[in-house]
Structure 1
Amino acid sequence: MTELKKLVASSVDCSHFSTDPDTVAIRSIDYAPVVDGNPLDWGVSGRALCGEPAGAQRAHNLNWLDTVGDMKKLQTKAKAAQLADFEDDGKLKATASLLLVGDGIAVETNDPSARFGLYQQQFLYLNCTPGFAAPTGYRLERSQVEGCVLTNYQPEHPVVGGR
């Protein structure tokens, strides 16, 4: 987990960092993690939280760091959650974190600037939106789950130039 924290330090503010299970399980009105419930059921082998979970003030800058033992399981469950959220009104909740994956690691964040930095570090967003297509110049790779792609393109927060 220490290595993952170091890896994402330029993109994700981890000045407040915790691996305490109760702290990592936090969610707030403004921040909803992708992984819901027991992380092991999602294929996540280690989990940490960067950000301030709350206390005297509202939570802010919450991002979850995951080491992943079973990426296919994580992507399968994330797809189901994303499609369930999408079915409500045809879009994802603004407070929903997006799952950005790397090789055996993942970051859950709803911060566009953190995602931009993570894209520069070769993380890719798991997008399971039906009919999704990325414009020319953006990365688009197969995910481990049918019906999803890995990309650095988000229609609501496009990165100019794609890369």
Structure 2
Amino acid sequence: MSSRTVTRAAAGATALAALLTLTACGGDDDAVGSGIAAIGGLEGGNGNSGDGGNAKKGNGLGFKGLPKAGSMAEAARIVNGYTKCDRISSTKSDSSTSGSDPDAKYDSKTYSVTERGYCGRRNVTTIFMIKDPKVFQAAFRAEVEKDHADGKNGDVNSGPIIGQDFAVGSESSDAMAALLAPGSGMLLLNCHPGFNPPSGFRKEPSLVKGCVLTDYYKD
């Protein structure tokens, strides 16, 4: 995987976080929105969860309140509503990567990823279709825990942005923030033990213990 996608990866998870291209290489024109942290108050969620009263309350749906795509085409349409993703491809453009495919190892039952899609050129946004979201979240948590045990804490405020059956990462911080815009319904999966968002942001249970769903992201 390129050094570009490894830099500042979620919780220092140099495998899965790099896969999801969760590092920001600066803003770009592809993002509909911009900024470092998304504003709280998205639809969905089930209110406070171990956050000391800091998280915004949702509508009680939790994970089930996240958008469900059903196909790569629909996932791309959802993403395109918040950051440019009008041309989805099963391969990265030549300008975005070099060497062997760094994502190939995740087309396996370990992460329950069934399909990959890429959009954008200068700052690539990656979409992963997921068969079993609990398996995916558990695999991501395992990556974070391993790096944390090895002293690689990385960025405690980053992670993949998820729906019910897909995950999204981008090389653009603007795109990441735009995907968490109010009304998108998507939330970020954070499995870092030191994660503690500012007051007013959501911090809700995910499908696996040790991870939360949040509308807070900071590059």
Q: Give me the TM-score of the superposition, normalised by structure 1.
A: 0.70
Q: State the 1:129 CA deviation.
A: 1.0
Structure 1 partner of 2:176: 115
How far apart in 2 are the matches of 1:51 and 1:83?
A: 31
Q: Which has the higher contact order (CA 8 A, sep 6+)?
A: 2
Structure 1 partner of 2:105: 37
How far apart in 2 are the matches of 1:65 and 1:131?
A: 27
Q: State the 1:89 CA deviation.
A: 3.5
Q: State the 1:5 CA deviation.
A: 0.9
| Cα distance per residue 1:51-94 (max 9 Å; x no partner) | 23xxxxxxx3122112221001111111122333444442249x
Structure 1 partner of 2:127: 65
Structure 1: 5+ residue runs without aligned partners?
53-59, 158-163
User: Is structure 2 residue 199 aligned with structure 1 residue 101?
Assistant: no
User: Is structure 2 residue 77 aligned with structure 1 residue 6?
Assistant: yes
Which has the larger helix fraction? Answer: 1
SS at match of 1:73: helix
The aligned runs of 1:132-147 (5 Å cut-off) are 132-147=195-210
SS at match of 2:195: coil
Structure 2: 5+ residue runs without aligned partners?
1-71
SS at match of 1:67: strand
How far apart in 1 are the matches of 2:159 and 2:153?
A: 16
Contact 2:113 2:131 in 1 (8 A): yes
Identity of aligned pairs, percent?
30
Q: State the 1:15 CA deviation.
A: 4.8
How far apart in 1 are the matches of 2:116 and 2:81?
A: 19
Structure 2 partner of 1:48: 117
How far apart in 1 are the matches of 2:89 and 2:104?
A: 17
Contact 1:82 1:92 in 2 (8 A): no
Contact 2:169 2:176 in 1 (8 A): no
Structure 2 partner of 1:161: none
Could you say which structure has the larger radius of gyration?
Answer: 2
**Structure 1 residue runs of 4+, over 4 Å off?**
none
How far apart in 2 are the matches of 1:89 and 1:108?
A: 20
Structure 2 partner of 1:130: 193
- Alignment partner of 2:145 out of 80, 83, 90: 83
Which has the larger strand fraction? Answer: 1
Q: Give me the TM-score of the superposition, normalised by structure 2.
A: 0.54
Aligned length: 139
82-91 or 124-133: bigger deviation: 82-91
